[in-house]
Structures are given as structure tokens and as C-alpha cells.
Amino acid sequence: MTKLDAEEYGSFEAIRQTDENGNEFWYARDLQNVLGYTKWENFSKVIDRAMIACKNSGFEIDDYFPDVRKIVDTGVSTKPIQDYKLSRYACYLIVQNGDPRKEVIALGQTYFAIQTHRQELADTFNQLDENNKRLVVRGNIKQWNLLLAEAAHNAGVITDEEFMIFQNAGYTGLYGGLTIADIHRRKGLKKNEKILDFMGSTELIANLFRISQTEEKLRIDGTSTASEANDVHYRIAEKIRKAMIDMGTTLPEDLPVPEKSVQTIEREEIRKLRDPKTKLMLDE
């Protein structure tokens, strides 16, 4: 999510809750206020339509719209009111059934669609084996590196030498002072082998975060010199490393080096696809 998106979607993020198991949810009463519905009676009709859509999609309503009761103080006495603990998908269905004339409804549709899609991607990714995770993340890095190169160029990183210095700034920040050449030697790679192709999925993800966050920072801040761009790249990478230290996770340089390169895995997967003995889903 970009800085601009974060500002636009901040109202939805602000009311997001997390239960004791780490599952996110939104209270319907909170969502009502953000979506601009002054009366619960009107908003409950939108919830009813969303429940019908949920049922028609083949899902259990109680799994996505669990009913909860709250006790509120009216100033004179206390009384119970109806509320719901809404899942992300429930919120998505609600905004899909909301008043389309409300600008915030359109914003909510985008926000919850993006969030739902991201979760679907995450669920799919987590089902992959390590080799295929590496293929997916390495492919993402290739795309993000193109965007980073463009952002760096716009920031004043022009020559090949300047770009090498810029790249090294990111690696030294993330790898505790190790340069590209240092990492290459540490992994025991041959001269023509690329370090990104000999990273496991965890190490690749750390580098993807470094690359994507640097690209965004350069683009949003309008960095205008190569020296400033190098500093941005280093500082972002250093912060990612510090976060890893704070969380107690294995640092990038200490992660194991895979035996196979990403290119080798890719060739093996292509051979599987071309192998007539491989049974495809269409054959079933």
C-alpha cells in the first residue's frame, strides 16, 4: 500500500480489530460510522443484503457475521444493542451492497477488495513448496527491480557505476556492511552466478521488501541526487535489518544457501509442464 493509499484508507485501518488468535475483524457499529450511515436501521438493511450474498456464495453466515451484544450507557440507564464482528469478506460484501452514491462506499469497495485479494494471494503462496515460493518471489523482484531502476534514474542515478554504488548501498544496509561482492563470496558462487538466484524464499522476501520500499520512498519524496538516493536505499535496508534483529529472526547473511539456483528450478518446472506423462487437471 502506498503512502497515498494509507492516507485514503486510514479510516478503515483505524477501526480494524484483532482477536486473541490474531484474526482481524471490524465491528459493524464502527463500520457504520465510517461509511456515513447515521441510523443503524438503515445500515442493518445493508448488512442483511450482504448476508444474503454471503449465503448465496455458499458460506455460513455465522462464520462471517457473528452476532455480538454490547451494553451502552444512555446517560439514564444501560441497554444492550446489536452489533456484529465482521470478517474482511463480510465488510467487502457490505460495501458492495452499500449506497453507491456515497464516495466513501466506493473507497471501501476498493479497500476491502484489495485486502481480500492480498489474503487470497497469501493463502495461495503459503501452500507452495519452498522451490515454488522462490520462483514466485524472484519473479516479483525482477519486476520491482525494473521499477527501482527507473526511480533511481529519476533521482539522479545515471551511470552504470552510480547504479552499482546505489545497489551496494541497499545490500550493505540489509547485510550489516557486506557488499554485493562480499555476499557473492560468502555464498560461494561462481563469477556468472547472481546472488538473488541463490536465496531461499525468506531471504528473497527481505530483499523484495527492501526494493519495493526504496522505490516508493524515492518516488514519493522526489529524491534528486545520486547521493541522496544511496542514503535512502541504505537507511531503508538498515531499518529492515534492525526490525529483523528486534524480532529475533535469522539475519539475511546467516540464512542457508539453496543448492539449486532459481534458474535450475525454473527449467525443471518447465520440463514438467512439457512432459506428456505429467497428468494435468484437464485430464481428470
pLDDT tens per residue across span 91-138: 999 998 888 778 888 888 878 887 777 777 777 888 889 998 999 899
Q: What is the pTM of this model?
A: 0.62
φ/ψ of residue 51, rounded to 5: -65, -40
What integer pLDDT is reported at residue 148 of this predicted model? Answer: 95
Is there a domain that residue 119 lies in? no
H helix runs in the chain, sequence order? 3-8, 10-14, 28-34, 40-56, 61-64, 88-96, 103-126, 130-154, 160-174, 180-186, 201-221, 226-247, 262-274
Answer whether 149's CB lies under 8 Å from 214's CB: no
What integer pLDDT is reported at residue 4 of this predicted model? Answer: 35
Is there a domain that residue 282 lies in? no
> Which of 48, 81, 112 finishes a domain?
112
Q: Which residue has the cell 460495501?
A: 95
- Identify which of 167, 283, 179 has the alpha carbon closest to the alpha carbon of residue 233: 167
86 burial type by CB count under 10 A (0-12 exposed, 13-18 middle, 19+ buried): buried
Cβ neighbours of 162 (radius 10 Å)? 17
188 and 226 belong to one structural domain: yes
Question: Which residues span the domain enclosing 148?
Answer: 130-273
232 and 267 belong to one structural domain: yes
87 and 140 belong to one structural domain: no
What integer pLDDT is reported at residue 25 of this predicted model? Answer: 94
94 and 165 belong to one structural domain: no
Provide mean pLDDT across the span 55-84.
Answer: 84
Grid cell of 181 as nine digits: 561482492
Percent of the chain, pLDDT > 70? 92
> Which of 112, 138, 173 finishes a domain?
112
pLDDT, averaged across the chain: 87
- Identify which of 115, 120, 106, 66 has the alpha carbon closest to the alpha carbon of residue 88: 115
259 and 142 belong to one structural domain: yes
What integer pLDDT is reported at residue 273 of this predicted model? Answer: 64
139 and 255 belong to one structural domain: yes
Domains contained in the chain, number? 2
Is there a domain that residue 122 lies in? no
* DSSP-derived secondary structure letter, 91: H
- Identify which of 174, 169, 168, 180 has the alpha carbon closest to the alpha carbon of residue 208: 174
Whole-number Å distance between alpha carbons of 86 and 12: 13
Binned at pLDDT 50, 70 and 90, residue 53 comes out as confident
pLDDT tens per residue across span 246-272: 999 999 999 999 999 999 998 888 777
Whole-number Å distance between alpha carbons of 124 and 84: 28
Answer whether 167's CB lies under 8 Å from 183's CB: no
